Copies of this chain bind each other. A is one copy, B any other.
Amino acid sequence: MKHMEPPSIRVSEIFGPTIQGEGVLIGLPTVFVRTGGCDYRCSWCDSLHAVDNRFRGDWQAMSVEQIWEQVSALSGGEPLTVSLSGGNPAIQPLGELIEFGHREGYRFALETQGSVARDWFSTLDTLVLSPKPPSSQMSTDWARFEACLAVAQGRPLTVLKLVVFDDEDYAYAKDAAARYPHLPVYLQPGNHTPPSPDRDDVIVDMTGVMRRMKWLIEKVTQDRWFDARVLPQLHMLLWGNTRGV
Interface residues of A (CB under 8 A from B): 16-19, 26-29, 75-76, 78-81, 186, 210, 213-214, 217, 220-221, 224-232, 234, 237-238
CA of A229 to CA of B19 in the docked complex: distance in angstroms? 8
Residue pair A26, B229 in contact (C-beta under 8 Å): yes
CA of A29 to CA of B223 in the docked complex: distance in angstroms? 11
Minimum CB–CB distance for A38 against chain B, Å: 27
In the complex this chain forms, how many copies of it are found? 2
CA of A19 to CA of B225 in the docked complex: distance in angstroms? 11
CA of A227 to CA of B19 in the docked complex: distance in angstroms? 11
Minimum CB–CB distance for A238 against chain B, Å: 6
Minimum CB–CB distance for A200 against chain B, Å: 17
**Complex contacts, A210 vs chain B, CB 8 Å:** 237-238
Residue pair B237, A29 in contact (C-beta under 8 Å): no
Residue pair A230, B79 in contact (C-beta under 8 Å): no
CA of A231 to CA of B237 in the docked complex: distance in angstroms? 12
**Complex contacts, A230 vs chain B, CB 8 Å:** 19, 27, 29
Minimum CB–CB distance for A145 against chain B, Å: 23
Smallest Cβ-Cβ distance to A16: which chain B residue: B221
